[in-house]
Structure formats: structure tokens, C-alpha cells
């Protein structure tokens, strides 16, 4: 299964990278790979789908994205496209279309963003005269 760089996911979902990083820092989602400080987070396509659904629900309902992540995750992992939200409310989500368009956007983002190096650029090798302070 492919994993995507945080920058590519932010570009694909049209979300600010800092906002996405904060969202992931404050909310635990299965499929978010974080090894240690200084290493960029990597996300599975499923996480990107869940975040995209949570954002769309957030914009429609006027509720924070973070509070909708558990709902979006349950919808994504559910057995059907319909989710009962209350006694009188049923939500129908076109999960196949959501997944297909999100994957297409991720692929396009990878082409645009590519892989960026993190940290300091690799140093040039020093010649032996430079390493000894110019003394032969």
C-alpha cells in the first residue's frame, strides 16, 4: 500500500500544510506513520479519504474538522454508504467516488510536489588540504 508525504496530501486536499500537521498532531488516526522528530509524517490513502470527508462535512455542517474525524473514520470503515446520525437523520456518502477522486488528486499531487529533502543539504566532500586548515 502506498504512503504519501504530508506535503503531497496537503496539496491534494487543498489544505494548508501546518493546519494538516496540527490536525494530525491533535487527533489519532490509524494509518498515520510518524517515526520520530524531524521525520516527515507519512499517510495512507485511507487517512487522506477520511480527512477529505471530515473537511467536507465540516464545511457543510459548520463543525470543526477535528471533531468530525471520528465520524468520517466510522463512515469510511462502515459496511454501507448510509450512516444513521440520529433518529431522523441518515447520511448517504458516495464512498466510491470520494475514494476515486481522492486517489486521483493524490497521484496528481505527487507529480506536482515530488519528494523534497528535509534538513540540511548534504555537505560537499572536503579535500585533504581543507580539512587540515590548509597545511600540507
pLDDT in tens, 26-46: 887 877 766 656 566 788 899
Query: Is it the case that residue 55 has pLDDT exceeding 90?
Result: yes
pLDDT of the residue at 49: 95
Domain assignment present for 127: no
Q: Are 13 and 105 in contact (CB under 8 A)?
A: yes
Domain assignment present for 111: yes
Domain assignment present for 100: yes
Q: How many domains does the chain have?
A: 1
Domain assignment present for 136: no
Domain assignment present for 43: yes
Position with higher pLDDT, 133 vs 99: 99
Domain assignment present for 130: no
Domain assignment present for 56: yes
- Structural domain boundaries, residue 52: 4-115
Q: 3-state SS string over the chain?
A: CCCEEHHHHHHHHCCCHHHHHHHHHHCCCCCEECCCCCCCCEECHHHHHHHHHHHHHHHHHCCCHHHHHHHHHHHHHCCCCEEECCCCCEEECCHHHHHHHHHHHHHHHHHHHCCCCCCCCCCCCCCHHHHCCCCC
Read off the pLDDT of each residue in 42-63 and give the average, rounded to a whole number.
93
Amino acid at each position: 500500500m502506498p504512503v504519501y508525504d504530508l506535503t503531497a496530501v496537503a496539496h491534494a486536499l487543498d489544505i494548508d500544510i501546518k493546519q494538516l500537521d496540527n490536525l494530525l498532531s491533535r487527533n489519532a488516526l490509524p494509518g498515520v506513520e510518524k517515526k520520530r522528530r524531524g521525520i516527515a509524517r507519512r499517510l495512507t490513502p485511507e487517512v487522506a479519504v477520511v480527512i477529505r470527508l471530515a473537511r467536507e462535512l465540516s464545511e457543510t455542517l459548520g463543525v470543526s474538522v477535528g471533531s468530525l474525524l471520528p465520524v468520517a473514520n466510522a463512515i469510511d470503515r462502515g459496511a454501507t454508504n448510509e450512516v444513521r446520525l440520529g433518529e431522523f437523520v441518515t447520511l448517504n456518502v458516495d464512498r466510491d467516488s470520494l475514494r476515486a477522486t481522492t486517489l486521483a488528486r493524490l497521484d496528481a499531487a505527487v507529480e506536482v510536489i515530488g519528494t523534497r529533502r528535509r534538513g540540511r543539504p548534504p555537505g560537499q566532500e572536503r579535500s585533504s588540504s581543507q580539512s587540515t586548515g590548509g597545511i600540507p
